[in-house]
Structure 1
């Protein structure tokens, strides 16, 4: 009767050619391990805004979990083959399900950093257990290995591990995320983990595992593969159902672009645009916001106007209504938002983006303004007015566009005496972020007048009107201003007055080095 194999009875194939195949499996597993971390970071950004603190928690927590996993697996190294296969199956299943679990949890229960931290700890610990197990397997069957031999084994292991990590780091942003999305992309990575586990169990480690372990691994692989296969097949339906819970109105457009999630809802004639879950406008009252944003900056009858952001075309609509405007340059990052502005939103924005006076530039506003300032992209003239209509700076990427450096670039693009207006958030809900914006604009050499109006969809909403000079501009309207539904001189005079419980604050500016406004905004909304 033949005895069951033990972990010390290493098959000859593993002692020779099998090591190359094992190292290939190491690379595949490393690719999966890094991709799971990127999945968590992507979800953190998409679901909760992914601030510096949360990103640091995920990265540092993942690294710490790697070390914890390496320590926790030490008592199991005598059964390295069986434990390694089990770890890979668990990683494939939990990692593959991580995106859908977090997405559905967020949709049903709201933002919970604790869930992200738990996922980070579990996945990091499992990935951390891989290296000690792999080192044990690679060393198995080597008799009398000296320090140099051990160093060679470790060098091969690290090389395969880092090469796989590079592959995973490139595959997620350039292949899986744009083509498959977060939920299906994570599930596909889980399948890769399961395939690696199956190859190892069937070909390399089969003789090093007991019959019971092999049967257990087979059943676990089949169950995990079935779950992930079902998720891949139904990911679109799961995402639609979970997403719809986030919005009160029916979702008619939903697209994950390279920059953000774009969602359009409609109900009873009310069209609403959301970027990464944040409301950008409601067609019921957007006229209040856009009239208050645009027309005070056009009070000097400008001929050439720059619009930064505002890809929905609504700010451009108001600019083009002013009779003095001859040319509008609009700089928008996301082509998907511009496409909405040209199609579904064309009726709302008066087909502004197709107006012959419009020049639409698809680019990052910071980069575009910088290249213009240094002469890399020379412009024929400066702008008489600048409209800055950007989303709230709740991420570091958007925080760049609310920095001293950014407003300095805006100043360089503005003609002497020209006006600039910035949407600055809510002085009621996020007062620190609002007054930080005002202080930051001033730090770039502008004289600033803050003002605010009531937009029912947003509540109390604030703006900052500025010009270069010793005295701040007085919000007003041009004699040529077109007829408006909401704004007039009396409303503007009142808009410059702030109540006693929202007095102006003098705050240090937000800069590229110290993006204070990002944390201001987070604390404001959470308070």
Structure 2
């Protein structure tokens, strides 16, 4: 709905259009950053699966349309409405991350807040284009169809260019340098600055003195709120984070891949990645010995460890007397750095041992390289597949690459989750290994921090290997032949399931994990 010719023109006429289009690009960049904030928080707080990602994207797009319709009654006052929309967007978007984070920390869920934030931000962003189109046509009497088309082309070009800018700034600048809470708040500040520039330089003639005073007061108040958030963000995050963990947080870091938290109480050191417990120093030896030593039963010389960046698997591999070379493939350098500093006493400095080559890479990608061949043993120590990214590492394609990396007569051991709490995911892993040409033997032990926990030992071919230990196995704290014999027995209330394999095309294991725990 174009503005009438009697309205005051946008300041400086045609010369103002480049500045207004620049403001369009900035606002579009902010709008996309807000959507990426929601997607990032969805992944880090609630797992961010395909369903939730689709709901956020689809909900955001639907809200864009709703915003375009809802703003129609206000198009007769485009200047004041645009400034109001940008102020609201700066505040809502700037506060979105901290609101979601705090609600998750205090109430254990943020889904409702996430959906509400998606809807509100989408509506406000959707209102921008009709308002800007009206502003660009203000004072241009008799504009024809071609002129309208050119205006729309300019507007769309600026809008999409801004979206590209926002899409690049979030993953490469804001998230790694400022984090989610500060990154969203900084984006809100930029949004407010854009609104202030537009109001002061371009739309001043269209705003009444009263509207200018109201806009100035609102901008100052909104800026003050975001300034306080930027100033106190660390304290807010620390308080909210501590509520997620029973024990005191002694270290917290957000890498490019995940949130890394260490807690400690009474000598019990615990590592969490994105809120999921990775080990407790009180009983990690049960898990680590059960994963590592069965794979070393044939006295390997070359061992490949996929994942396990904490260095605990490498520690026990290096204790085996036959091992001459270890290749450790870990995606996140921040975890490796933690292993070499705060965890060095626990892992005995394993990652600095001269026999260990640490490779920073995605395990799936690295397995396709020429270096991934001829290993006498492979230890796969990956986090649970509760996201599509991790689901790749439990796929038929992944285990096929693992099988190809084995030397003849080589063994591979895999952590497979809990056969008691998540039995479908556990047996899905076993079935997927079989589909990839491996012959697995499943087994499970009790790890107090995790409960009943399962693994699979396999070799290439159709006959599973025997489950046992090498006579050269060094002294252990938990695992022996009697424990392994018992570990291969499964109770009747958790029988073997034969399932379709999880693949890249159909990551069924992710849905198995999302189905929740079985009581």
Q: What TM-score, normalized by structure 1, do the two folds share?
A: 0.96
Deviation at 1:14, TM superposition (A): 5.1
Deviation at 1:111, TM superposition (A): 2.2
Partner of 1:215: 213
Mapping of residues 61-100 of structure 1, within 5 Å: 61-100=59-98
Instruction: Tell me, yes or no, if structure 1 residue 403 matches structure 2 residue 395.
Output: yes
What secondary structure does 1:501 align onto?
coil
Partner of 2:506: 514
Question: Residues 433 and 524 of structure 1 are in contact (CA less than 8 Å); yes or no, is this contact kept in structure 2?
Answer: no
Deviation at 1:289, TM superposition (A): 0.2
Instruction: Tell me, yes or no, if structure 1 residue 137 matches structure 2 residue 129.
Output: no
Deviation at 1:521, TM superposition (A): 0.7
Tell me the C-alpha RMSD between the 2 structures: 1.3
Among residues 249, 259, 262, which one is paired with 1:261 in the alignment?
A: 259
Instruction: Tell me, yes or no, if structure 1 residue 368 matches structure 2 residue 358.
Output: no
Partner of 2:421: 429
Q: 1:198 to 1:482 in 2, by over 3 A?
A: same
Partner of 2:482: 490
Deviation at 1:230, TM superposition (A): 0.7
Q: What TM-score, normalized by structure 2, do the two folds share?
A: 0.98
Among residues 344, 347, 350, which one is paired with 1:346 in the alignment?
A: 344
Question: Residues 301 and 324 of structure 1 are in contact (CA less than 8 Å); yes or no, is this contact kept in structure 2?
Answer: yes
Unmatched runs of 5 consecutive residues or more in structure 1 = 1-5, 373-377
Question: Residues 26 and 164 of structure 1 are in contact (CA less than 8 Å); yes or no, is this contact kept in structure 2?
Answer: yes
Partner of 2:430: 438
1:108-133 per-residue CA deviation (whole Å, 9 max, x = no partner) reads: 00123222111101101100000001
CA distance in 2, matches of 1:359, 1:309: 13
Partner of 1:3: none
CA distance in 2, matches of 1:199, 1:447: 66
Paired residues, what number?
A: 516
Question: Residues 175 and 183 of structure 2 are in contact (CA less than 8 Å); yes or no, is this contact kept in structure 1?
Answer: yes
CA distance in 1, matches of 2:408, 2:58: 48
Question: Residues 7 and 78 of structure 1 are in contact (CA less than 8 Å); yes or no, is this contact kept in structure 2?
Answer: no
Mapping of residues 66-465 of structure 1, within 5 Å: 66-372=64-370, 378=371, 382-465=374-457
What secondary structure does 1:394 align onto?
coil
Partner of 1:375: none
Question: Residues 428 and 500 of structure 2 are in contact (CA less than 8 Å); yes or no, is this contact kept in structure 1?
Answer: yes
Question: Residues 300 and 377 of structure 2 are in contact (CA less than 8 Å); yes or no, is this contact kept in structure 1?
Answer: yes
Partner of 1:29: 27
Deviation at 1:7, TM superposition (A): 9.8
Q: 1:271 to 1:7 in 2, by over 3 A?
A: farther
What secondary structure does 1:101 align onto?
helix
Deviation at 1:255, TM superposition (A): 0.7
Question: Residues 422 and 518 of structure 2 are in contact (CA less than 8 Å); yes or no, is this contact kept in structure 1?
Answer: no
Deviation at 1:491, TM superposition (A): 0.9
Question: Residues 94 and 189 of structure 2 are in contact (CA less than 8 Å); yes or no, is this contact kept in structure 1?
Answer: yes
Deviation at 1:526, TM superposition (A): 8.5
Deviation at 1:12, TM superposition (A): 5.4
CA distance in 1, matches of 2:198, 2:306: 54
Deviation at 1:16, TM superposition (A): 2.0
Kindly report structure 1 stretches of 4+ aligned residues shifted beyond 4 Å. Answer: none
Q: 1:526 to 1:211 in 2, by over 3 A?
A: farther
Unmatched runs of 5 consecutive residues or more in structure 2 = none
What secondary structure does 1:70 align onto?
helix
Among residues 491, 497, 507, which one is paired with 1:505 in the alignment?
A: 497
1:382-403 per-residue CA deviation (whole Å, 9 max, x = no partner) reads: 0011000011111111111111
Partner of 2:465: 473
CA distance in 1, matches of 2:338, 2:10: 62
